[in-house]
Structures are given as structure tokens and as C-alpha cells.
Copies of this chain bind each other. A is one copy, B any other.
Amino acid sequence: MALKVYVDRMSQPSRAVLIFCKVNGIDYEEILVDISKHKHVAPEYKAINPMCQVPTVVVDGKFKLFESHAILIYICCAFPGVASHWYPSDPFQRSKIHSVLDWHHSNLRQSAGVLVWNTILAPRHGLPLKHPLVAEESEKLLVRSLSKLEDFWLKDGQFLVVSSQPSIADIRLVCEIMQLELLSEKDYDRILKPYKKVVQWIEDTRRATAPHFDEVHGILFKVQKRLRKRMATEPVNYNHLKSKL
């Protein structure tokens, strides 16, 4: 089966799909859709994914699929040799994986990336920010989401569903949280450090998917270094931005 994976490694769901493929020895071709160069809205990519988002996979040149959760589930089912803990066939465990992935859509997904975009990436790129309230609301939702991870989803074990082994949900949600690495060290620590189980779970997922986790996140850490260096010399005055809006 020929698998083409259209991604931008600066996108959290793209990273999740890449790490998963690498960990499971899936043979694929990685094709960069450079969002910073607006390649995701180019007509040739629109023909592959009319939603203009990454990732997308194309199987045998014919079957096109987008949405990272759907892609991860598809690969688990279509490619032989994927260990069962990634997407267990037990109906209760499988349902829990669907449940946590669905929960993720309206919680972490609506908060971590939105916060990073509206406080760090957009102002740094000179792009228009949404109303400052969006950043405030997304931080509130992020804190509520982290609390639910700490007190509910991670209460029974090391990982989200299959207590001692990672599933596709662990990779996907941890990749989302990793976007917070682009915040200043102070903000990152302030937001994330109170959640001990979450911090440990990120580390456990990283170890369980080594060395691919760090390799795929390489570009994120490169951008982090550049951003934090700039933050040290020319800090973003968020109040100043507010008055502009």
C-alpha cells in the first residue's frame, strides 16, 4: 500500500501522524505542505484536501483522507503489524479512545494551539490577531482541560486508556500540548507545571515513542529557541497589542 502523508511539522496533528507511522515502521512518503508559504491554500493541495488543512493521507494514489484522528484509526486498521495497544479491539477500550479523542476536539484542541497562535505566533509574524479575549478564553479553557486530564483521564494509570501502554490518543493529545513549548519558559512553567501527572505523561509518551518523538519535534524546538531568544531581547507587550485592537 503506497501511503503519501501531506504534513507541516509545525502542525500538531501532522506531528502525531508522523510519529505514529515512524514508531510502527509504516512505509510512507512525507510531503511538505509549507503553511508559512501558504501552500495549504494552493489549488494543487485544495484538490487533495478542500479543507486546506494538514495532515492528509493519500493511499495508492486514490483514497484521500483528512482529520488526524480518522487517519490514525485508518492506519491502525489498514496496516498489518500495528500493535493492538494503539487502538485496542476490546469494545470498551476502543470506545474510551473515541471518547477521549472527541473530548480533545472541544477542549485541548480549542485551547493550546489557539493560545500559542494568539500570544506568540501571530504577533511575531505581523499577522492580524483575533480579539485579545480569544487568548484569554483559550487560556481558561486550557487550564480546565489540563485539570480534567490530571484528575480524570490520567487518574487510573500512566496512559489515557490502556493504562500501561500508549494509544493513538496519547500521541495525539501530547502532540497538541507540545505546542505550548513555543510560549515563554515562564508562561510554560506557570501553565503546565501544576499538573504533575500531565508532565509525567508527556515524558512517558516521549519515551515510549523515542527516538521519533524528539526527531519529529525538532523543528518546534528550533523555533522555540529562536522565539525565546527574541523574547529575551524584545518581549511582546501584550497590553500594547490589546490597545491596538
A residues sitting closer than 8 Å to B (CB atoms) are 50-51, 63, 65-70, 73-74, 77-78, 91-92, 94-96, 98-99, 102-103, 105-106, 109-110, 130-131, 133, 137, 148, 151-152
In the complex, chain B residues whose CB is within 8 Å of the CB of A70: 95-96, 98-99, 102
In the complex, chain B residues whose CB is within 8 Å of the CB of A131: 131, 133
Looking at chain A's contact residues, the main secondary structure is: helix
14 more contacts with CB within 8 A, not counting A68-B102, A69-B98, A131-B131, are A50-B148, A50-B151, A51-B148, A65-B95, A65-B96, A65-B99, A66-B99, A67-B102, A67-B103, A74-B91, A77-B91, A105-B106, A106-B109, A133-B133
Q: How many copies does the complex hold?
A: 2
Given contacts A106-B109, A131-B133, A133-B131, contact A74 B95 (CB under 8 A): yes
| A-B complex: 4 closest residue pairs judged by Cβ atoms | A105-B105, A70-B98, A67-B102, A70-B99
What are 6 contact pairs spanning A and B, CB under 8 A? A63-B92, A65-B95, A66-B103, A67-B98, A67-B102, A74-B95
Give the distance in Å from the alpha carbon of A120 to the alpha carbon of B133 in the complex. Answer: 22
Report yes or no: A152 in contact with B50, Cβ–Cβ below 8 A: yes
Report yes or no: A67 in contact with B99, Cβ–Cβ below 8 A: yes
* Residue picked from A66, A95, A133, A151, most chain B C-beta under 10 Å: A95
